[in-house]
Structure 1
Amino acid sequence: MLLSKSIIPEENGGYSKADMEKQIEQIQEQLALIHLKLKANVDSEVWVQFQTKTNSLKQTELEFQRLKQLL
């Protein structure tokens, strides 16, 4: 008797297929937004690193030119 009372019938406590599909769709939308934000952050970080390396190379090139003029 106790076992039969512990089982919750689907119609009383379960989720409908439509509700589950709606929840899955909402989760997919949230994941897409998270992915977009992460991609933007990564793109920004890559751009900053590229600019840093480019500036470093320009400084090195200018230093070589300065040294060549001294010789």
Structure 2
Amino acid sequence: MYISIDDAKCMGHGRCYGVAPALLTDDEEGFVAERGQCWKVPDDLLGDAQDAADACPEGAIALLDQAPV
């Protein structure tokens, strides 16, 4: 599974990295540091990825079965 964070939708609520600190971090402005990126989620962090996506009120986090082309 892949996680993608839409930098245009991210408003810096911080809920994602609050519930998934092993997967996501914050930058100096309080936004998720990985915004605008897409990467493969390690198997042991799939639950964290789902928690982060569920916690985002803006819907900026998408979980994908395959990497976007």
- TM-score normalized by structure 2? 0.21
Greater helix share, structure number: 1
Greater strand share, structure number: 2
Larger Rg: 1
- TM-score normalized by structure 1? 0.21
